[in-house]
A and B are shown apart, each in its own frame.
Chain A
Amino acid sequence: MKLTQLSLFLENRPGRLIEPTRLLAAEGINVMTLCLADTAEFGILRLIVQDPKRAAEVLNGAGWTVNLTEVVAVEVPDQPGGLAAVLGVFEQAGLNVEYVYAFTLRRDDRAILVFRFQEPDQAIAALQASGHQVLDAERLDALVG
């Protein structure tokens, strides 16, 4: 039920962000979303892509070092209150969110929230118990495809 997120280390220099996305595009790998966490000195680029294993191979082959992390993605209606409802579930279950980012799908009015936990399995159990739709790679493919 988890998605594999790719993380890359970037120095804060103009143009660095473009390179990995360009590499993946050239290989026909669809980047669903990316999110940059940065400090004054460096940034970490996090990517959700359609084929993370192949994406990691492509990036490795081009000399990038890639970190793979499992994250939990939840589908919510893209309207006020969507995020709050999900966060409520975690609060009740006593789970700490390390970070979260969101993206929307072009085709319909749904948003995808991506969460990073120390204990992703507990988070998934809590979400499922409260009736939320947790995304696996297949479902994400179907939504994008």
Chain B
Amino acid sequence: MLKELWNDAAGGFHPASAPDFLPESALKEVQLRRLRAVVQRAYDNVALFQERLRERGLTPAAIESLADIRHLPFTVKADLRDTYPFGLFASPMSEVVRLHASSGTTGKPIVVAYTREDIEVWSEVMARTLACCSLHRGDIVQNAFGYGLFTGGLGAHYGAEALGATVIPISGGNTDRQIMVIRDFGVSALFSTPSYFTHLVERASELGIDLRELPLRVGVFGAEPWSDGMRSHIEAAAGISAFDIYGLSEIIGPGVASECPEHHGLHVFEDHFYPEIIDPETGEPLPDGEEGELVLTTLSKRAMPMIRYRTRDITAIIPERCGCGRSLRRIQRIGRRSDDMIIIRGVNIFPSQVEAALLAVEGTLPHYRIILSREQGLDQMTVEVEVTPEVLSDQVRVIEDMRERIAQAIERILGIRVGLRLVEPHSIERSQGKAKRVIDQRGD
């Protein structure tokens, strides 16, 4: 692409986005061609996949249409652990140019691999992600995603460079320095986890720096679920437009799906990642519009093809065309993962429900965490909530009233009464990456 032809104006069409506007028929054609190739590649090179197809009496030739994908077996996270470290690779190490690993919350990490072509695709989808988030050449981008084994830092870095933006590879942590760089370098866009940015906003205000007065105009946030209320809070406090992006290491890292300026769902870069929604209980595909578990197939991955990977993320495909004109289908923002579900005294609870209760009472989202414990054989859940500047009062009665309103809101939403403890500001550990909201001390 000739860089001279790029439209550098904010909101202008960016050539990197061209594939986002493929007509539906052309898109389906690309998807089918790539699906057949990737199934063949996995069959030829990945023993586990070949074995599973044989058990079902299938060969890659069984894929005649996109709908035939439903006959293929799922891949789950445990498959990556069971074949640790390199068992699902479809390329010899001589063609692998990069390894990343994600820390599993339990047991072994999972390892993912990239060929040179994979890195190019990754850069492309991340550049498309950032163009979708209204970034362009000339933007000064502070990349506070962690660099290292985590895919966030390098993935966003390559994408921003491919877009032609100026990248500051600051990585996570050292919040005071981050704030100094935002101010002194005239940063216009920042990438981080939403929880880390909340922390950064809070710290800037303590230092007497008003982010709204700085050139910072866009925040690109991912790697963990965050609510619309948290978005409003971040946008108002920092004077930015906040975009949600989605990705996971098993598929490629960030760059699987992105919000556009409409802020209504995330466009899946489905020419590279084919989305399906299934019923998590039965595994049956669900029609567009119905909520279920997101399953992704990497259509062009070479080093590590993932066929029908179960993400554990709960969402729905939005069938309507988007106002931005992209033909790519959208998924709803992911508010919960089936892995995040807490079962306490027989009631299913998601941390996002606690978040909703806190937002409803306070108007902004305070730092909080959920402690699960067991006392005399009974499960107990306690929500610890930090006292924010907005609710801090010099009067005991005012704080006790607020505490009672939170307790009632949680009970109303969850249907059970849980413990609630107000804690000092900054007493809950801030994460540099994904926030750890649930501490399970039940010991099984």
Q: Of the 9-residue stretches B9-17, B153-161, B395-403, which lies at the interface with chain A?
A: B395-403
> Hey, what's the 0/1 contact readout for A17-43 against B, CB within 8 Å counting as 1?
000000000000000000001110110
Cβ B388 vs Cβ A65 within 8 A: yes
* Contact of A9 with B422 at beta-carbon distance under 8 Å, contacts A39-B396, A99-B395 already known: yes
B339 within 8 A of A: no
Cβ B422 vs Cβ A46 within 8 A: no
Q: Is the interface of A mostly helix, strand, loop or mixed?
A: strand
Cβ B206 vs Cβ A63 within 8 A: yes
Write out the residue numbers on chain B whose beta carbons fall within 8 Å of the beta carbon of A116. Answer: 394-395
Q: State the Cβ distance, B144 to closest chain A Cβ, in Å.
A: 20
- Of chain A, the residue at the smallest CB distance from B206 is A60
Q: State the Cβ distance, A100 to closest chain B Cβ, in Å.
A: 13
> Hey, what's the 0/1 contact readout for A30-68 against B, CB within 8 Å counting as 1?
000000011101101010000000000100110111110
- The CB with the most chain A CB atoms within 10 A, among B394, B395, B396, B427, is that of B394
Write out the residue numbers on chain A whose beta carbons fall within 8 Å of the beta carbon of B424. Answer: 9-11, 16
Count of A-B contacts with CB under 8 A? 57
Cβ A42 vs Cβ B392 within 8 A: no
B393 within 8 A of A: yes
Cβ A44 vs Cβ B206 within 8 A: no
Cβ B422 vs Cβ A41 within 8 A: yes
A98 within 8 A of B: yes
- Of chain A, the residue at the smallest CB distance from B387 is A9
Cβ A11 vs Cβ B427 within 8 A: yes
The range of chain A's interface size is 20 to 34
A10 to B388, CA, bound (A): 12
Q: State the Cβ distance, B424 to closest chain A Cβ, in Å.
A: 5
- Of chain A, the residue at the smallest CB distance from B427 is A11
* Contact of A37 with B396 at beta-carbon distance under 8 Å, contacts A11-B427, A42-B422 already known: yes
Write out the residue numbers on chain A whose beta carbons fall within 8 Å of the beta carbon of B393. Answer: 7, 44, 67
> Hey, what's the 0/1 contact readout for B359-391 against A, CB within 8 Å counting as 1?
000000000000000000000000000011100
A52 to B14, CA, bound (A): 52
Q: State the Cβ distance, B199 to closest chain A Cβ, in Å.
A: 11
A98 to B425, CA, bound (A): 25
Write out the residue numbers on chain B whose beta carbons fall within 8 Å of the beta carbon of A64. Answer: 425-426
Cβ A65 vs Cβ B425 within 8 A: yes
A79 to B77, CA, bound (A): 76
- Of chain B, the residue at the smallest CB distance from A69 is B394
- Of chain B, the residue at the smallest CB distance from A65 is B425
Write out the residue numbers on chain B whose beta carbons fall within 8 Å of the beta carbon of A57. Answer: 208
A41 to B31, CA, bound (A): 59
Cβ A67 vs Cβ B394 within 8 A: yes
Closest CB pairs A-B (n = 9): A7-B394, A65-B425, A67-B392, A9-B387, A63-B426, A69-B394, A60-B206, A65-B389, A37-B396
Q: Which residues of A contact B (CB under 8 A)?
A: 5, 7, 9-11, 16, 37-39, 41-42, 44, 46, 57, 60-61, 63-67, 69, 98-99, 116
17 A-B pairs with C-beta separation under 8 A? A9-B387, A9-B392, A9-B399, A9-B424, A11-B423, A37-B396, A39-B396, A39-B400, A41-B421, A44-B395, A63-B206, A63-B426, A64-B425, A64-B426, A65-B389, A66-B392, A116-B395
